[in-house]
Structure 1
Amino acid sequence: MDDPTATNLAVTAVVLLWLVSRQLVERPLRERSPIGLVLLTIGAVETGWYVTVHPLSWGDGALVVASLAVGVLLAAVRAFTVRLSVRGDRIVRRGTPLTAALWGVGLGQHFLIDTGVAAGLGAVTVLVYFGVVLLAQQLVLVRRAAAAGLAGR
């Protein structure tokens, strides 16, 4: 694949499938998860490289920030579609079909920014998007567990 946009879209599809598949199986709820930080870091490096070659306007930056803000809101809503329960001495979480659907909605709105900004910016910033929304969802899940009296197990 010589086209960087096609490569980014392929990486996006793989990461999305991996994230959603992990969300739909029962897994321990961890207070901290490195996945969001790793994706955010890789995405920030990739985005930084992109903007050095393709300078962005203030409008482009504002649309990316707006997409991230919508993504964080959707992540908070998505966190309430995840079931929390206790198995032995661990808190576990498992997403629902609505969890998966909200991932699709969030990613779709993020790629909509490509219609109003520099071509390919949505694909370039998608790992930043994944990192930010994963961190937001994790924060809401941990707080939900604490509010339900499940934390500290």
Structure 2
Amino acid sequence: MTVANVLIGLAVLAYLVFRQLQARPVKQKSNQIFLLVVAVYGLYSSAQVLQGHPLSPGGLGLVLVGLVLAGAFGLARALTVKLWRDGDQLMRQGTWLTASLWVIGVAVHLGIDVLAEKLGAPAGLGFASLPLYLAITWFVQRVVVNNRVRTA
């Protein structure tokens, strides 16, 4: 399960960074199915790791901190996305800082996993929850960018 989660997580991360660095029109209504699939897979794989391995209070606390940081990184990245008008069309494009924050955020998530293991979390929970982390951080970024679009 861990190798599959790493590969899926890296594939989703590469897809997200690639898409965000492209200049493209802003869509007010975007397809959320991919985001939902990633979140559900993250919940499923996390549940598989946790099955029969209860979290210690310290491990649970770090897992929750990691999910809050997912939101914080999404917010930070949303503020780095450039918005501009090209005629009638509103455009968007991530910057090198947007891409860097994606990579740093994932590294922080996996680093928290190492600490959580030392506090009693099951081994591999960080990799198992990586898809969930990506879904949360991506969702927060979308919400904040969409709010910026409304005021632009």
Instruction: Quickly name the TM-score band, shorter chain normalised.
Output: 0.7 to 0.9
Name the TM-score, length of structure 2 as normaliser: 0.86
Is the 1:37–1:135 Cα contact (8 Å) retained in structure 2? no
Q: CA RMSD in A?
A: 1.7
Match for 1:11 among 8, 12, 27? 8
In structure 2, the CA distance between the partners of 1:27 and 1:53, relative to structure 1 (3 Å rule), is farther
Residue 43 of structure 2 is aligned to residue 26 of structure 1: no
Q: Secondary structure at the match of 1:116?
A: helix
Instruction: Give, as a single letter, the amino acid of the residue that structure 1 aligns with 2:54.
Output: P
Name the TM-score, length of structure 1 as normaliser: 0.85
Q: Deviations over 1:83-138 (max 9, x none)?
A: 11233443221111111000011101100122222221110000100000011000
Per the alignment, residue 126 of structure 1 pairs with 130
- 5+ unaligned residues in a row in structure 2: which ranges? 117-121
Per the alignment, residue 89 of structure 2 pairs with 90
- 5+ unaligned residues in a row in structure 1: which ranges? 149-153
Per the alignment, residue 144 of structure 2 pairs with 140
Is the 2:5–2:131 Cα contact (8 Å) retained in structure 1? no
In structure 2, the CA distance between the partners of 1:120 and 1:90, relative to structure 1 (3 Å rule), is same
Which consecutive aligned stretches of 4+ in structure 1 deviate over 6 angstroms post-superposition? none
134-143 or 22-31, larger mean C-alpha shift: 22-31
114-123 or 26-35, larger mean C-alpha shift: 26-35
Deviation at residue 65 of structure 1 after TM alignment: 1.2
